[in-house]
Amino acid sequence: MSDLLIKSPRIFDGRDERLHEDAFVSIEGERIVALGRQSELGQEQVQAHREVIELGPDTTLMPGLINMHTHMSFSGDARVYENAVEDSVALKMIRIVQNLQAALASGVTTIRDCGTLPELALPTREAVAQGVLIGPRVVVSGAITTTGGHCWFCATEADSEDEIRKAVRAHVKQGVDFIKLFATGGNTTPGSNALVAQYTLEQMCAATEEARKAGRRSAAHAHALDGCRNSIAARVTTVEHCSFQSEAGIGWDEDLVDELVRHQIHVCPTVFRGMSKLLDEPGFEPTPKQRRALDVRKQRLDLVRHLYEKGVKLVSGNDAGVAYCSFSDFPSDLVLTARGCSIPAVDVLRSATSVAAEALGRTELGTLAAGQAADLLAVSGDPLQDIEAVTRPRLVVAAGRVI
């Protein structure tokens, strides 16, 4: 006897822009065992399920969302740095639980964490996997930065090539899923400069070489143009942010874009509304610094559109946990990606499902088919026609469990 049968007017399988009409998904344990048309189901097959869910009209069933860039222990408010430095381990753990619950309720069934201390992240991953904690499955990073560098408070500090190699090996020993390198400075850490590379090409290559030896993928936080160049040349798996920034603003480098395409390097541009949400609040008047940040945001949306048009493989992650970015925001930020970057809804959805799973190297995720993980999201409406449907969850199933 199978555990769960879900009938839906429409199914988006994570790949095909053609929807499956009047379809069903059969789930046993944590896996999908069958997907097909409801007309193929006999009464005996229906009765062979412990639970049957019949989704209402104008509902679409799709893979659960994969948020490719999060920080589980971050507070998501204007004091994110102070909270990260001052809060106790116990408070951070409570915040992780709160953040995971918010993500799951929004339809996110997998998060890739890009900067939480392994002492917190690894037990969280195992708690979810064992069913002790109900939340999205967690993909854990081993983060590495320079001494006092960007996100030093949630990363291992390493400066020389030897130190970097040792840091990678130590993270692998701990059991992390991938290596995260802070190739440039960033905006969350006071005194850090996002326009400056933190590591040389040789140092980046040392890290990616060690990661590959251990069978681990790698991600590089990169804002500055030099840092983007080093990350691409070091053949990281994904470039995070990839904003091609310099003193002149957001730039463009045709040769680097060609390299991204040639080597099939995924880019996670971390599109999120952030501070722009405050514009809707009565009486809010941005400071000059905030206005500059809003201007840069518009330039970054244009950059993402150009990357898409050039054929760069994009995955979606919204940097959940940083200032003005909560764990429930991801679906709305997918809407921003589609509308703000003029990317078709189907490709935005793929970037948060099948293409994200490809970048993770987790082929059991991100699509609906027999043998795949039973991570599903039902939304009100047709998200391929109206991307905003993804912000209207009706049902979430994580690892075969109805949430």
State which amino acid sits at residue 143. Answer: A
| β-bridge pairing 2-11 and 59-63 | parallel
pLDDT in tens, 340-359: 999 999 999 999 999 999 99
Q: What is the pLDDT of residue 278?
A: 64
The CATH number, out of the four listed (3.30.1490.480, 3.20.20.140, 3.60.20.10, 3.30.70.1400), of the domain defined by the range 65-328: 3.20.20.140
Contact (CB, 8 A) for 59 and 376: no
Check if CATH label 2.30.40.10 holds for domain 2-63+366-402.
yes
Domain ranges of the chain: 2-63+366-402, 65-328
How many C-beta atoms surround the C-beta of residue 357 within 10 A? 25
Reported as half-sphere exposure (CB side, CA atoms, 13 A), residue 317 has a value of 34
Nearest CA among 359, 353, 365, 360 for reference residue 60: 353
pLDDT in tens, 236-272: 999 999 999 998 889 899 999 999 999 999 999 999 9
pLDDT of 1 higher than 60: no
Q: What is the pLDDT of residue 289?
A: 66
Q: What is the pLDDT of residue 280?
A: 64
pLDDT of 379 higher than 70: yes
Q: Which two tokens stand for residue 234?
A: 């070091």
- What's the rounded mean pLDDT across residues 156-170? 99
pTM to 2 decimals?
A: 0.96
Instruction: Give the least confident one: 2-11, 71-80, 165-174, 285-294.
Output: 285-294
| β-bridge pairing 141-145 and 178-182 | parallel
Nearest CA among 109, 5, 84, 82 for reference residue 49: 5
- What's the rounded mean pLDDT across residues 110-135? 98
3-state secondary structure of 368: coil
Q: What is the pLDDT of residue 115?
A: 97
Q: Which residues pair with 326 in a beta bridge?
A: none
E strands present in 228-307: 238-246, 249-250, 266-268
Contact (CB, 8 A) for 54 and 395: no
At 356, phi and psi to the nearest 5?
-60, -45
Distance, in Å, from the CA atom of 294 to the CA atom of 285, rounded to the nearest integer, reads: 12
| β-bridge pairing 178-182 and 31-37 | unpaired
Contact (CB, 8 A) for 315 and 280: no
How many C-beta atoms surround the C-beta of residue 168 within 10 A? 28
Nearest CA among 321, 341, 328 for reference residue 390: 328
Share of the chain above pLDDT 70, in %: 98
- What's the rounded mean pLDDT across residues 79-104? 98
Q: Which residues pair with 184 in a beta bridge?
A: 197
At 344, phi and psi to the nearest 5?
-55, 145
Helices (H), 214-287: 225-233, 254-262
- What's the rounded mean pLDDT across residues 193-219? 99
- What's the rounded mean pLDDT across residues 197-203? 99
Following DSSP, what letter does each residue of 66-106 receive, concatenated? EEEEE-TT---STTHHHHHHHS-HHHHHHHHHHHHHHHHHT
Nearest CA among 261, 265, 228, 258 for reference residue 243: 228
